[in-house]
Structure 1
Amino acid sequence: MERMEAFFTARVDCYDAHMLHEVEGYAEGCRMAAGLLPEMCTWLLDLGCGTGLELEPVFERFPDLRVTGIDLTQAMLDRLGKKFRGRRLELFRGSYVGRDFGVERYDAALAVETLHHLEPGVKAGVYRQIWAALRPGGVYLECDYMACDCLEERRLRRENRRLRGAEGLTPEAEVHFDIPLTEAHNRTLLLRAGFARVERHMQAGDTVLLAAWKAAG
């Protein structure tokens, strides 16, 4: 199993083309997510921001937006910084798992094709941190690969655990292996994290765009 940072460092030059042309629903999901951001959005949290491909339609709509981006891979962050030189960026290298995002700081949060590497318990913790970091009435947008049913979800999680055991990897090691949850499972975790409502806005193949809204007050 390949470590996450090594996997994406080796693929930084082909990443954008792969996502745009080979991942069904990715480009549409990014455009739609940008359109769902609140009209008065001033500060966005972007988890697993990569090269910032998902930010292109966001900056078209909000050219003065402040963005906090978190990613494990320095090569990806360097590419993002060059792409959006002059924008209001705060970029952090590291994991978003277990990170404190602050309290009622952001108008919106975005995660595109990144959280499908997390076990449900870990994902639930990230959702709670996102909810806490959003201002009242804020929205969390997740565009990601989701399992088609519970059988696929359980099969991939079993295989993930088997491979980790065979290679002596701890559950905390961040490696590139897909363990997507079903849409229903994601919805349940989001609601338990405190979000008032969760809506599906798009599905194309295995790619689903969910919007989770924090109560206005």
Structure 2
Amino acid sequence: MRFHDRRQAGQELAARLLDRAADGDLTDPVVLALPRGGVPVAAEVARTLRAPLDVLVVRKIGAPGRPEAGIGAIADDEPPLFDEQSLRILGLSEDRLAPDVARERTELHRREDAYRHGRPAPDIRGRTVILVDDGLATGVTARAALRHLRRAQPARLILAVPVCAAGAPEALRDEADEVICLHQPRNFHAVGLWYEDFGQVSDREVTDTLRGLSVSP
């Protein structure tokens, strides 16, 4: 099963979450997107649930020579989170990756400035937080995001994605109260393969989307 684009994927994900809202499982929700690809998906969820939308900027640390292969991630100014098994297999150390972390930290802050324009991050204490991305591969970026959010003491923390690698949701059960994935294809390979249109999302699209929806106080 392939989605036409991120918007359609978001509509299907929103329908699943709307059932939870009807059962009273989503109290005072706020939707947080992992930019950039997660924003069009999350926008549909936020519209359907009539919930505020915001972003959580997290940056993936890629393997040397293979930036698409996530072996670590950073959120805010917190220490990087690495996949220790990947480091061992690749013969890498955290010190060796320090320049990569510094570069991604700079990009993280650039995007926060571009998307927020000085607006503070939302207060999620005691709220239901729905973290949305366009897909879940290794899970290292989502893990860093979930741990960051957990420290802010939400009442409930949900990770919601349209498509994911087999086994990825189970690997994150200890990080979230619930992981929702609509499709777990056997031959996953990459998130983009499960979208007919997987064009890059621009900074402008992110800011326009946030401007068009009420962001969380």
TM-score range normalised by the length of the shorter chain? 0.3 to 0.5
Higher RCO (CA-CA < 8 Å; seq separation 6+) = 2
TM-score between the two structures when normalised by the length of structure 2: 0.41
TM-score between the two structures when normalised by the length of structure 1: 0.41
